[in-house]
Each structure stands twice: as C-alpha cells, then as structure tokens.
Copies of this chain bind each other. A is one copy, B any other.
Amino acid sequence: MNENKLLAALPKLFHQDSDLAVGPGDDCALIKFGGKYLLAAADQLIQDVHYFPDTPPEAVAAKLLKRNLSDIAAMGGIPRWTICTLACNGCSDEFFMRFFNALEACAKKYQCAIAGGDLAELPTSGTVATLTILGEVELEKVCLRSNARPGELIFVTGQLGDTLYSQHHLEFEPRLAEGRFLSENAFSCCMMDISDGLAADLPRLLERSSCGAHIQLDKLPCRNNCSWQSAIADGEDYELLFTTSADRAGKLLEVWPFDTPLSCIGQITADAGTVRYYQDAEEITLNGVNGYEHFRA
C-alpha cells in the first residue's frame, strides 16, 4: 500500500468515541473535554528524511514544532501545549541543550508550553524526534477537511514549491494568525495545511468532502518562479489550503490584514474524486506528478 491507502485503511480499524468529534484523517483530532474542544496532533522529524545530519539542532527543533503548529493553524485553532520525544544515538549534551533551548524559544514565540516528553537511545545512528501538539478551538469555528462544498473558491496562503533549495522547509512560518483570522471571521470552515504538496494533499481534502476541484496552474504562487510541477509536487510548503464561498471571497481579499500572499487557485466541483488542472483554458494532464510521499510501504 502507498501512504494514501494506508492512511485511508487504518482509521477504519478504530472504534468511535463519543467525545472524539473528529478522529484520524484531519490535520488534528478534535476532542470534547470539559465543555471545550481540544485539538491534538503528532508529527515526526527524522534525520536524513526531514533534515540533514549537519542541520543545526536549533533548526531541527524549530521545524519539529512549526510543522505541528501548522496543523493547529489548519484547524483554525490556537496552540497551547506540546509533548516532545527524542530518540537518538550518542547525542552529545550540547545537542540536547541546543535542541531543547531552541524548542523552548520557539514554544515561547508561538505561545505554547512544553508539558512533557521522553528521551531514549536509538540502537543505530540517527535521530527521531516526535512532537504532540495540543491546542484549542471553538466548535463553531473549527475548520475541517470535510467542509468543502461545490462552487466554493480554493485559496492558498504564501507561495508554493522550491521548498528544499530555498531553505523554506526550515524557515517557513506556521500560518497560525492567518488560519485563526479565517476561522474567527467565518471566511472559511474548510482548511488543511499543504505538507506533502498540493497534488497529494488536495485529493485528501476532496475525499473527506466528497467533492472534486478545478485548479488553475497559471494562478499558482510559485516560489522563486519555480515550475508548476515543483509548486504542486514539492513537500513541506506548510501553507494553508482553504475554501471560501464565492460571495465572501471579494470581502476576504479586501480585508486580508497580512503581508502573506493570498491566491485564488481554483474552485470546488461536484465531481467527487476528480481534480482537473488547467493552464489558462487548456486542460493539463499531470503524468505522474504526485506530490511527496513521506512514507511508502
């Protein structure tokens, strides 16, 4: 099975829980607790997969936290607490102190607190860091992958593609303020973050919404004038992909208070499971441009 098939197969194994409003399959789980709603998600960061052996520990720690914050942003939520685990082989005291000092600095910057964690030894060389993020959101403001409706316009924040050589995969800003603005002001109730490339992530949103989409490749905000292939297939954009109704879109563009670019790149259709890509008016076949798979089994 590839990553998508596994991610689709696994949640079907799991029993439901009456307080688990949204389980596996969205950017975060949504949990009813004490009359409020908790967000929870976890992500991993692995040496030689998500960063290089010579990436500074400060950059590793920040990326680990920021990619989790991006999941909170995608739900329209507010980050609160993190739990971090680290497994490594022969890491020095200096690595640990630099990693955790940077994690703390990043947590402070984004106003969340380190609540716990675990350290363990890997039997072979390498480092595996895992972080669970907890956040909160109001039920009436949460943004879900399943909320897209035909006719809605599709937007992305920031720019896409060229994520590795530009260092964007380390230097990105999680779109917390932008995601919260969209959810708080009811500009969107359907959002996800793009972490595996638009070509991989958009179908996941459409699957949950039983919709299709048209995408205008000529409207993609390509980082450093990269190709549309790079813009839809490179992983680690950590930008928000969201839908908004056609009659709210003009207002959104008018009041958008951020420097972060906002681009309308297409429209949701009723043709469930089908994504059509256009270059101006001409339909384009992707021919194997698939987005990034973090995992192949």
- Mark each residue of chain A from 101 to 138: 1 if its CB lies under 8 Å from any CB of chain B, else 0: 10010011000011111111111111010101010100
Q: Does A31 contact B (CB under 8 A)?
A: yes
Query: Closest Cβ of chain B: how far from A241's Cβ, in Å?
Result: 19
Query: Which listed residue (B17, B49, B101, B122) contacts A120, Cβ 8 A?
Result: B49
Query: Which listed residue (B15, B44, B92) contacts A85, Cβ 8 A?
Result: B44
Q: Does A48 contact B (CB under 8 A)?
A: yes
Q: Cβ of B93 and Cβ of A42 under 8 Å apart?
A: no
Copies of this chain present in the complex amount to: 2
Chain B residue nearest in CB terms to A30? B115
Q: With contacts A40-B115, A104-B15 known, is A123 near B122, CB below 8 A?
A: no
Chain B residue nearest in CB terms to A86? B44
Query: Closest Cβ of chain B: how far from A101's Cβ, in Å?
Result: 6
Q: Cβ of B108 and Cβ of A10 under 8 Å apart?
A: no
A7 proximity list for chain B (CB < 8 A): 119
Q: Does A149 contact B (CB under 8 A)?
A: no
Q: Cβ of B83 and Cβ of A113 under 8 Å apart?
A: no
Query: Which listed residue (B33, B42, B47) contacts A38, Cβ 8 A?
Result: B33
Chain B residue nearest in CB terms to A25? B116
What separation, in Å, do the CA atoms of A44 and B87 have in the docked complex? Answer: 8
A20 proximity list for chain B (CB < 8 A): 81, 113, 115
Query: Which listed residue (B1, B29, B34, B50) contacts A35, Cβ 8 A?
Result: B34
What separation, in Å, do the CA atoms of A163 and B9 have in the docked complex? Answer: 35
Q: Does A80 contact B (CB under 8 A)?
A: yes
What separation, in Å, do the CA atoms of A128 and B92 have in the docked complex? Answer: 20
Q: Number of A interface residues, CB 8 Å?
A: 72
Chain B residue nearest in CB terms to A32? B34
A1 proximity list for chain B (CB < 8 A): 93, 96
Central interface residue in A84, A100, A117, by most chain B CB within 10 Å: A117
A13 proximity list for chain B (CB < 8 A): 97, 100-101, 104
Query: Which listed residue (B50, B97, B104, B130) contacts A130, Cβ 8 A?
Result: B130
Q: Does A3 contact B (CB under 8 A)?
A: yes
Residues of A within 8 A of B (CB): 1, 3, 6-7, 9-10, 13-17, 19-20, 23-24, 28-29, 31, 33-36, 38, 40-44, 46-50, 80-81, 83-85, 87, 91-93, 96-97, 100-101, 104, 107-108, 113-126, 128, 130, 132, 134, 136, 294-297
20 further A-B pairs in the complex, CB-CB below 8 A; given A15-B104, A17-B115, A91-B297:
A13-B97, A16-B113, A20-B115, A23-B114, A29-B81, A31-B81, A33-B33, A33-B38, A34-B34, A35-B35, A40-B115, A42-B83, A42-B130, A43-B85, A44-B118, A48-B123, A118-B130, A121-B294, A124-B125, A128-B128
- For the complex of A and B, list the 6 residue pairs with the smallest distance between their C-beta atoms, beginning with the closest: A34-B34, A34-B36, A17-B113, A29-B115, A48-B123, A132-B132
